[in-house]
Amino acid sequence: MTKPSASLSKQSLLDSDGTRLELEHRSMWTDVWRQFRKHKGALAGVFVFVFISVAVFVGPIIHGVDPNAIDFTARNLGPVWSHPLGTDNIGHDTLAQMLAGGQVSLAVGLSAAFIALLLGTLIGVLAGFFKALDGPLMRFTDLFLALPILPLLLVTILLFRDSLRATFGPETGIFLLIVSIIGVTSWMHTARVVRGDVLSIKEREFVTAAHSIGTRRHRIVFRHILPNVLSPIMVSATLGIANAIITESALSFLGLGFPPDFPTWGRLLYDGTNFIQITPSRVIWPGLFIALTVLSVNYIGDGLRDALDPRLRGR
Amino acid sequence: MRKQILFWVSLFATISMAGSAWAADRGRDGELKLLYWQAPSTMMPYLSGGTKELEASSIVIEPLARYDNDGKMWPWLAEEIPTVENGGVSNDFTSITWKIKKNIKWSDGSDLTSEDVVFTYEYCTHPDTGCTQSNYYNDIVSVEALDSHTIRINFTVAKPFPYSAFVGYNAPILQKAQFENCVGAKAQECTEENFHPIGTGPFKVVDFKPNDVVVLEANSNYREEGKPAFSGVLFKGGGDAASAARAVLETGEMHYAWNLQVEPEILNKMAEGDSKGTIIAGFGTAVERLMVNFTNPDAALGEDRAEYLGGNNNRNAHPFLSDYAVRRALSLAIDRQILVDAGYGFAGKISCNVLPAPAIYASTANDECKTQNVDEANRLLDEAGWARGSDGVREKDGVRISILYQTSTNSVRQGTQAFIKEMWKAIGVETELRNIDASVFFGGDIGSPDTYQKFYADIEMYTNTFSGTDPEAYMNSWTCKEVARRSNNWGGNNMPRYCNPDYDALATQMSKTANLDERIRLAKSMNDMLMQDYAMIPLIHRGGVSAYSNDLMGPVGNEWDSELWNIADWHIHK
């Protein structure tokens, strides 16, 4: 077990005459990983993203301060031992708020991007693969592209806030609302890119071959087409995460979205702007973390695109 | 010959130079830039209860008399203030006769006559208009035009303080010719008229964009020569209080910013050193208060949501706020001093009354609220049978004390919300906070569910105030007939939907009482009844804070009328 990675990637086979052959098996994913490792920015991105995720989800266990606890005697503090990032003007601990806010912002980003990914892939593959659906689905996509997201969000929040609040409670209700709206309004680019790739791939010889031996259509889609369009899907997913975090920030900035005592990075930044001269850390930290998260995710997406594209891989 | 030309040229030059130096030309100072971060949604004060609309319209349409910054009444469109001594008020206080100044022209050039005044009364008292200022026209039998410039108001009862109709920025005069076809149900539909009212004031509306900006230009028919000094006004809305303060105090790009509800530490920071502006703060009658909803705002009720259905207030009663013990406990649990220190500083003091000023009317009967008493609050709730559930939230018969608490978006208000949420947590009350953009919340748009009039929440917080020094009309706001409801397009002033026959009786009595001491007693007992019934939970007696740039002369603030009451006199310091 001195070289575990090597032993995993090698398989021992017995030849027909009993001699052992050492073959080096190269799966697609090991190749992808090799290529990905070459992209320094992407590696750094993974490191930063993992660090932020671990920090916001494990951090509250170590720094066990309730983000909504108010200490009236400790207002507008700079960094002190009991409040490592200082406090805000009503005595909230900034670090605790940053951690709690990070959980929400990351959760919003990941889930909204996931919804957008599912929808975009579904519509893109359907439009690209079934000719009859192409026209209607792409016009539908155009329609969604033409929708301005912020006004739409405002109207939807107004319309569905009360019913969702009654069913799921204020925080979960708004979370579902924001996540689904961001998801539902950001799948279009994925769909267009996927459709384009599917159109070109379905004319390739290996798909024709699969057709000719009578492979069912859904098998062709899952077995032959989807793996080949994985690269654009992954890239748009990573961009989607960044986009969702920024949209949520914009909403918080407008004072919409989550209740005012529910910290998210966007809201912390918004609340802190007035205090930039008094406690600059209230603006610096949320701003820095939004920027770092978005940047790291973008770099990861960049690296994944290079790594997933078979034509680029190995160069 | 040459000498002669030279003489004429030099004479002409001297005259024209003198002309430009002569400081009394109308429009000499260019554009005046006002920043009201809560943008006005209409220019029609009778269709909006919001202070921002009242302020905006006050520079266009004017009342017969106004209050100055000391609360003293001055004739405005009237020749003098009618009194018993000068014969303007009848000896039995049942009528008042106003004489309007001659030669006052509307901005379209036509004359202001008593017909316009009579029409204004008819407009606001029409039952379908949904007039939000109708409490300024209470107890009036008729308003009659005695001649083209004299009107008489006849009251149903003796009115010892007959100066509420047509006085102050709540009750300005409208032009009959313009609004003739906008009375009653059509009032809301007259968008063009409501956005561009023709007035007698120093400026007239050129362009109005709701919730955004009002562009005004000097009224060429204004009655005083050489006024206003500015050729126009840019009345800009939007943004927030802190950026408004910054635009005047730090960058100097605006001349005047209103209602700077900003955390004291930020304001102090901006005002120190070589600040480009000055802060004015004055205490009037403004109280930041929590309105308690006496009706059930449950969305499941559909149309009847937060609708007062009558029947001794029991048919649509609030599930837990209709319990006196709960309301009292909510008030006792609040430490008001913390709210003042964190959010208001020099511009606030704790208040236990909704009527904190003028000083003669301030009651001391409710001072219990000055000290927080969590133990007593808890005891009250225990006694009333509200037991803590497993999650620490009190409940009784399946009803949880879970409060939806709404206010406008403003960082001071959100800070106050956060404090109160924590304070209520200590007595086992769960609170959900909601903040709504100020132009929507105070906008009065009957299509929006998020206005403070609709009150689709359990508790809401805002500040209210009244013009002038007599509290009668203001205290009338919480009578049964003022309840904001569907039938009056939510135009009533009684947001808590508080309806108490005893209170109405006091209001009626007050309208009939002439003796000042007796009126003081009545006003105090009305205030005490509201406070001891916890129809409202007062928090902070707020000073009005505004800022003006150092080169602007004229603003003195005004807590009794519009802050722009003397805008005709504003000018640039040379």
Torsion-angle region of B302 (φ positive above 0: left; ψ -120 to 50: alpha; else: beta):
left
Identify the residue whose tokens are 């207002």. A75
Distance from CA of B242 to the nearest CA of A (A): 7
Residue B62 confidence (pLDDT): 94
Q: Is A288 exposed, middle or buried (0-12, 13-18, 19+ CB in 10 A)?
A: middle
How many other C-beta atoms are found inside a 10 Å radius of the C-beta of residue A32? 21
- Determine the pLDDT at residue A24: 63
The partner residue sitting opposite B415, judged by closest CB among A89, A162, A255, is: A89
B252 versus A1: the higher-pLDDT residue is B252
Give A286→chain B minimum CA distance, Å.
Answer: 17
Under DSSP, the state recorded for B175 is P
Q: Tokens 């009002």 appear where?
A: B214
One-letter amino acid at B4 equals: Q
The answer to whether residues B357 and B284 touch, using CB atoms and an 8 Å cutoff, is yes
What are the Cα distances from residue B358, in Å, to A27, A301, B520, B564? 84, 66, 10, 21
Residue written as token pair 């959980």: A103
The pLDDT of residue A22: 56
CB-based contact A260 B433, cutoff 8 Å: yes
How far is it, in rounded angstroms, from Cα B443 to Cα A135?
Answer: 44
* DSSP tally for chain B: helices H, then strands E: 15, 21
Q: Among the residues of B241-373, which ranges form H helices?
A: 241-249, 264-271, 324-332, 336-343
DSSP code at position B307: -
**B294 membership: H or E segment, kind and range:** none
In chain A, residues 167-226 whose CB comes closer than 8 Å to chain B? 170
Q: Which amino acid is at B414?
A: Q
pLDDT score for B145: 93
Q: Which long-range contacts (CB under 8 A, 24 or more apart) does A157-165 make?
A: A157/A256, A157/A257, A158/B448, A158/B449, A158/B450, A162/B299, A162/B456, A163/B299
* Residue B2: predicted pLDDT: 52
A23 band by pLDDT with thresholds 50, 70 and 90: low
The answer to whether the CB atoms of A261 and B433 lie below 8 A apart is yes
Greater confidence (A103 vs A232) lies with: A103
Give one DSSP letter per residue of B354-394, joined into a string: S---SGGG---TTGGGGS--HHHHHHHHHHTT-EE-TTS-E
CA A78 to chain centre: 33
Q: How many beta carbons lie within 10 A of that of residue B472, not counting itself?
A: 24
Prior bond to B555 cis, omega within 30?
no
Write the DSSP assignment of chain A as a string of letters.
--SHHHHHHEEEEE-TTS-EEEEE---HHHHHHHHHHH-HHHHHHHHHHHHHHHHHHHHHHHS---TT---TTS-S--S-SSSTT-B-TT--BHHHHHHHHHHHHHHHHHHHHHHHHHHHHHHHHHHHH-HHHHHHHHHHHHHHHHS-HHHHHHHHHHHHHHHHHHHH-HHHHHHHHHHHHHHHTS-HHHHHHHHHHHHHHTTSHHHHHHHHTT--HHHIIIIIIHHHHHHHHHHHHHHHHHHHHHHHHHHHHTT-SS-TTS--HHHHHHHHGGGTTT-THHHHHHHHHHHHHHHHHHHHHHHHHHHH-TTTTT-
A262-291: per-residue pLDDT in tens? 888 888 888 888 888 888 888 899 989 988
- Structure-token pair, residue A20: 């052992």
Structure-model confidence comparison of residues A32 and A41, the more confident one:
A41
- Coil, strand or helix at B303: helix
Residue A5 pLDDT exceeds 70: no
Q: Give me the half-sphere count of Cα atoms (radius 13 Å) on the Cβ side of residue B419.
A: 27
Closest A-chain CA to B263: A89
In whole angstroms, give the CA distance from residue B450 to residue B442. 9
Residue B3 confidence (pLDDT): 52
Q: What's the average pLDDT block by block, 10 residues per block, for chain B (574 residues)?
A: 52 45 72 91 87 91 90 90 90 91 91 93 90 87 92 88 89 93 88 92 93 92 89 90 91 91 87 85 89 90 85 76 93 93 88 88 89 93 92 91 91 91 93 86 83 93 83 90 87 89 92 84 94 94 90 87 91 85
Provide the residue count of chain B. 574
Q: What is the pLDDT of residues A73-111, one digit of tens each?
A: 888 888 888 888 888 888 889 999 999 999 998 999 889
Find which of A76, A87, A89 to mutate to test the B interface (most B CBs within 10 Å of its CB): A89
How far is Cα B2 from Cα B98, in angstroms, rounded to an integer? 62
- Cα separation, A278 vs B124, whole angstroms: 49
The reply to whether residue B450 touches residue A163, judged by beta carbons under 8 angstroms, is no
Name the CA radius of gyration of chain A, rounded.
24
Of B299, B411, B432, the CB nearest to A163: B299
Query: With an 8 Å Cβ cutoff, are B415 and A72 in contact?
Result: no
Of B58, B52, B415, B59, the C-alpha closest to B238 is: B52
Distance CA A266, CA A253 (A): 6
SS3 of B272, please? coil
Task: Using a CB–CB cutoff of 8 Å, tell me whether A63 touches chain B.
Answer: no
**Phi, psi (deg, nearest 5) at residue A288:** -60, -45
Q: Is the Cα dihedral A222, A225, A231, A232 positive or negative? A: negative
- B299, B433, B449 ranked by CB distance to A259: nearest: B433
What pLDDT shows up at residue B16?
A: 45
Check CB contact of A154 with chain B, cutoff 8 Å: no
Q: Which residue has the higher pLDDT, A210 or A13?
A: A210
Q: Is B1 helix (H, G, I), strand (E, B) or coil?
A: coil
A70 vs B414: CA distance, rounded Å: 13
pLDDT at A315 over 70: no
Residues of B in contact with A75 (CB under 8 A): 342
Q: Within 13 Å of residue B101, how many CA atoms lie on the same side as its CB?
A: 19
Residue in chain A lying closest to B264 (CA): A89
Q: For residues A252 and A267, is the Cβ–Cβ distance under 8 A?
A: yes
CA distance linking residue B304 with residue B317, whole number of Å = 11
Interface test with B, best of A97, A150, A175, A274 (most B CBs within 10 A): A274
For A78, list phi and psi in degrees, rounded to 5: -80, -175
> What one-character DSSP code corresponds to residue B293?
P
pLDDT at B22: 44
Per-residue pLDDT, A4: 44
pLDDT-based confidence at A119, cuts 50/70/90? Answer: very high
* Per-residue pLDDT at B440: 82
Long-range (24+ apart) CB contacts under 8 A made by B80-86 are B81/B163, B82/B162
Residue A221 CA, distance from chain mean position:
24
**Predicted local distance difference test score (pLDDT) of residue B314:** 59
Q: Which residues of B touch A92 (CB under 8 A)?
A: 418
For chain B, the residues whose C-beta falls within 8 A of a C-beta of chain A are: 242, 262-263, 265-266, 269, 299-300, 338, 341-342, 409, 411, 414-415, 417-419, 421-422, 432-435, 437, 448-450, 456
Q: Which of B414, B432, B435 has the CB atom closest to A170's CB atom? A: B432
- Global model pTM greater than 0.95: no
Q: What average pLDDT does the segment A132-150 reach?
A: 89
